[in-house]
Every structure is written in structure tokens, then in C-alpha cells.
Amino acid sequence: MSEVVLSTGGTGGHIYPAVATARELLKLGHRVTLLGQLGGMEERIAAEQQLPFFGVQAGKLARSGQGRADPRELLRAGRGLIEARRFLGRLRPAVVVGFGGFASLPGVLSAQSLNIPTVLHEQNARLGLTQRLAARRAKAVGTAYPTIAGLPAGKGVLVGMPVREERLERAEALARLGLDPQRLTLLIMGGSQGSLALNNVLPEVLRAALPNGESPHGPVQVLHACGQRWLSNVAPRVADLPWYTAEGYVDAVAAWSAADLAITRAGTGALAEAAFHGVPTLMVPLPESAENHQLFNARAVEASGAGQVIEQQHVSAQMGAAVLECVAPQRRRTMHSAALARTPAGATRRLTELVLAHARQEAP
């Protein structure tokens, strides 16, 4: 049995893979602690999931990946390093796993300074800032994509992105969501908060592209997960369209099980779920994502044949035609197979195995 510390925080994209790995380690009889920012989202999620948590201060080393950091943030980062070092020095875990994001930095760098083995998980197709600082001294970097920009040679091991490996029958999923089984289902999912840029244009673009919800390849319905705070803006604009449903937040397992095609941002969480469910995606990368990593994610999926990139400034002009092309049966089948070929099934298990392979053996 090993003591494992999982260092994570900041956004769901960094936290949920850590939670999945922690659960798998517990199942195997190991001890785990989540290490993150005091008062961060990770502290709340750890409590909900009943996982032990240790909080330290954390600070951003750069503003959105560019520019100089705020000196107060640097001070917090420095204090976090001292606090994490003290904690790890006492606990002496067999391995520390870093999931990226500024909140994971104190745990990973202080583990490396104490010669505790570290393994990283990079969720995006471009190595994030925290991971760049830690990759050279890490034992290995588990990756969600086959090729990662900025990764030192010989460190990467493709494990995939941990996702909820649950699937519903299409008919059951459609019934749960109150959707019509006779229509193809187009899911719009902008990320956990929705996407203002997609919300602003897609209702009108799709109204024009799919008159009465009809396409040359059969009737289509839209399920638009627009984000809770945008619902009062989006819902009235589609209230007269019986084939267009706007929801603040949808049950992701049901939505992906029902979908035949999706329009998404290019966060790895959503893209990995799309692959698990075999759903082709028209991806609109978030231009403001740190160091434009979503464009790297989207290009990787596009290269696999499972999706198509439409940059944000071209959504109004190009999305309608792209949807009509992708509902054509032959194109949809090809993209569906390419999506399934990217399945992240087993990612949690593979990452856990990688972590344990580098854990220091306890003295007999």
C-alpha cells in the first residue's frame, strides 16, 4: 500500500482527473490526499467527494499565460511552496501526481525538491506552464493526446483523459431529455459555464440552416446547453422552435448518449466525452484559453478525422454549412468511427498504473 498525494486545482478540467485517479487508488487499497489551494474549487470538490484534502497558498506565475505575474501572486506561490514542502516532508508520500494549473505547482515543485518521485498528467495538447516547470524532473508525463507541444523527449506516456465511463441506450437518453427519437440530435455544449460566443450566434445560424428543423438528410433537433446564467437570454430566442431546446445545464452522460453530432469548445473534458460516445464534433476553440491550448486540442481531434475546427470569427459564416455536411450519413459514419477510435476508455486505470510504477517502494 502506498501513500499518494494528488496535486491539483483551479478548474474542473484539472480537478476531475485527479478525483478519478484518487478513487481508483483507494479502490486498490492505497492512501490518498488531494493537495490544492486553500479555499479553491478543489477544496469544495474534495469535501463533496469525501476525499482527504490539504490546502496551501497558491499564486499565478503569469497572467493568462502571458505577461508578468502580479508580485502578490508570486508571494503567494512562494508561501505555498514552503507550506507544501513542510506537509510533504512530514507525510513522505511514495509519489506526488501533478495535474497542472497554478494550484498544483507548490505540491509538485516541493516534492521534487525533497526527491519524492513525481508523475504529471497533462490534459491538453500543449504542455501548460506549471507542467513545463516540472516536466524535466518528473518521472513521466501521462498525456491525453498522442503529441504534446512543448513536452521534453522521452517523458510522455499516452494514457488518455479520465472521463465518466457510462453510456445510456440512445432511446433511453432521448426519453430522459424529452427529445424526439425520429430526429437527429445536435448537442451544443460550450463548457461547464456555457459559452457566450456560441450562445450569441448559434440560435440564429441554426434557424437559418435548418428551416423547420429540416435538413436534406432528415429532421434535426438541437439540445443547447447554454449555461445557467445565459438561459434567460437564449430560451426566448428559440421559444417558437419546437425542435430547439435550450437548457442551462444538462446531464452530460444522457446528452452525449443522445447526440449524433455536437458543437463544442475544445476543452479536453468535453472532447474526451465526445470520443467515448463516438460523437463527431464541430469545435470552436476558446481564443482566450491559456496560450491558446484549445486550438492545439481541436487541431489534434481534427487530424484524427473525428471533428472539424471552426474558428470563432467564422462561426456565423461557416457553421450552418458545416452542420449540413456533417449530418450526411456517410460523413457522420466516418467521423463517428474516428471519434470511437480516440476513446479515452481505461484512461484512469492507465494513469493509476503509471503513477504506481513510479512510486517509491516502502522500506520493508
Residue 320 is labelled as binding a ligand: no
Instruction: Decide whether 85 or 342 has the Cβ nearer to ligand UD1.
Output: 342
222 within 8 A of 243, measured Cβ to Cβ: yes
DSSP assigned state of 93: -
Residue 2 is labelled as binding a ligand: no
Minimum distance, C-beta of residue 260 to ligand UD1, in the bound complex (Å): 17
Minimum distance, C-beta of residue 349 to ligand UD1, in the bound complex (Å): 19
Q: 297: which 3 cell numbers?
A: 486540442
- How many Cβ atoms are within 10 Å of 50's Cβ, its own excluded? 7
| Binding segment (CB under 6 A) for ligand UD1, from list 31-39, 261-269, 274-282, 331-339 | 261-269
Closest CA to 189 of 220, 164, 226: 226
Instruction: Decide whether 226 or 335 has the Cβ nearer to ligand UD1.
Output: 226
220 within 8 A of 210, measured Cβ to Cβ: yes
Residue 281 is labelled as binding a ligand: no
User: Binding string to ligand UD1 for residues 189 to 228, with x set by CB under 6 A, is what?
Assistant: x-xx--------------------------------x---
Instruction: Decide whether 213 or 267 has the Cβ nearer to ligand UD1.
Output: 267
Chosen residue from 37, 57, 123, 199 binding ligand UD1 by CB under 6 A:
123
75 within 8 A of 59, measured Cβ to Cβ: yes
Task: Give the largest CA-CA distance in the chain.
Answer: 71
Decide: is 127 part of the binding site for ligand UD1 (CB under 6 A).
no
Side chain identity at residue 311, one-letter code: E
DSSP assigned state of 298: H
- What are residue 188's DSSP bridge partners? 224, 263
Chosen residue from 37, 118, 199, 268 binding ligand UD1 by CB under 6 A:
268
CB-based closest residue to ligand UD1: 13
Residue 124 is labelled as binding a ligand: yes
Decide: is 234 part of the binding site for ligand UD1 (CB under 6 A).
no
Minimum distance, C-beta of residue 196 to ligand UD1, in the bound complex (Å): 12
Instruction: Decide whether 10 or 93 has the Cβ nearer to ligand UD1.
Output: 10
Decide: is 252 part of the binding site for ligand UD1 (CB under 6 A).
yes
Decide: is 162 part of the binding site for ligand UD1 (CB under 6 A).
no
d(CA 292, CA 127): 11
Minimum distance, C-beta of residue 223 to ligand UD1, in the bound complex (Å): 10
Q: 102: which 3 cell numbers?
A: 497554478
Decide: is 113 part of the binding site for ligand UD1 (CB under 6 A).
no
Minimum distance, C-beta of residue 290 to ligand UD1, in the bound complex (Å): 6
Closest CA to 21 of 119, 116, 90: 119
Side chain identity at residue 353, one-letter code: E
Closest CA to 7 of 129, 132, 110, 158: 110
Residue 11 is labelled as binding a ligand: yes
CA dihedral sign, ordered 166, 206, 203, 242: negative
> Whose grid coordinates read 486545482?
9
d(CA 194, CA 199): 8
Minimum distance, C-beta of residue 251 to ligand UD1, in the bound complex (Å): 7
Q: 323: which 3 cell numbers?
A: 452542420
- Please, which of residues 4-23 interact with ligand UD1 by CB under 6 A? 11-14
209 within 8 A of 324, measured Cβ to Cβ: yes
Decide: is 270 part of the binding site for ligand UD1 (CB under 6 A).
yes
User: Binding string to ligand UD1 for residues 285 to 324, with x set by CB under 6 A, is what?
Assistant: -x--x---xx--x---------------------------
| Binding segment (CB under 6 A) for ligand UD1, from list 35-43, 178-186, 188-196, 207-215 | 188-196
Closest CA to 55 of 70, 66, 65, 45: 45
Instruction: Decide whether 88 or 97 has the Cβ nearer to ligand UD1.
Output: 97
d(CA 25, CA 351): 10
Kindly list the residues in this chain that would bind ligand UD1 in the complex (CB under 6 A): 11-14, 123-124, 189, 191-192, 225, 249-250, 252, 265, 267-270, 273, 286, 289, 293-294, 297
Which residues does the annotation place in the binding site?
A: 11-13, 124, 164, 192, 294
